[in-house]
Amino acid sequence: MKKIDENYFKMDDNIKQNQIEDILDEDESILLRIKPKKSAYILNSFISMLPIAFIWLIFDGFFLTMIAISHAPAYVWAILVPFFALHLMPVWMWLSNIISANARHKNIEYVFTEKRIIIRSGVVGIDFKNIYYTDIKGVNLKVGLIDRMCKVGDIYIQANDQSAVIQDIENPYFILSKIQKIVLDIKTDIIFPNNLRPNENSGFKTKYRP
């Protein structure tokens, strides 16, 4: 174990504090780094919440049109305008999601090391999420209609105390299989260290026969 002294927390002036390399351990190396496919990411940002926003806009638009036809007095509009400005919040959220999609795509990155999965994301500030392979409980793949058209998929990762989604990545089946293998290998190493493994293990690939 490396000795910890008064310089342990001394910050390097060259660290930018927003790149993947800045948070890696000394003996940690990157196996793969990928980004979402931009066309799929932008398109899914547009479609996300679209049905809700559309229904909300139609409902509020119809209601406001009826009030306008009835020639409501000015004081009524003074009350309704602030109310509907708040009531249309799902529409504003949908528009914000579309407008910020390009900036979010620029900052998002998925990095796989031999120890963990690091997800870099954010719009104004940069956030990092770390999921260690030893904590992963389940890995699932979802390929929707838009994903199939764009030849991408979403990988859902469930860990002990958190979850994450690796969105709109190409070759999702291949990456899913690699994640599953890494998780299995690391957990097998923990349960059965190399020096305790027999040369032959007849039970590992046996089949259940009722």
Give yes or no: residues 112 and 174 share one domain: yes
Tell the burial category of 60 from Cβ atoms under 10 Å away from its Cβ (0-12, 13-18, 19+): middle
Total number of domains constituting the chain = 2
Q: How many residues does the chain have?
A: 210
Tens of pLDDT, residues 94-150 = 888 788 888 899 999 999 999 999 999 988 888 999 999 999 999 999 998 889 999
Q: Is residue 21 part of a domain?
A: no
Among the listed residues 145, 155, 109, 144, the one whose alpha carbon sits nearest the alpha carbon of residue 128: 109
For 152, other C-beta atoms within 10 Å of its C-beta total: 23
4-18, 127-141, 164-178, 181-195: which range is least confident on average?
4-18
Amino acid identity, position 120: R
Which domain covers residue 161, as residue numbers?
Answer: 107-190
- In a shared domain, residues 94 and 120: no
The span from the CA of 165 to the CA of 143, in Å, is: 12
Tokens of 172: 């999702």
Return the bridge partners of 159, or none. 136
Clarify whether residues 81 and 130 are in a common domain.
no
Identify the domain boundary among 99, 116, 147: 99
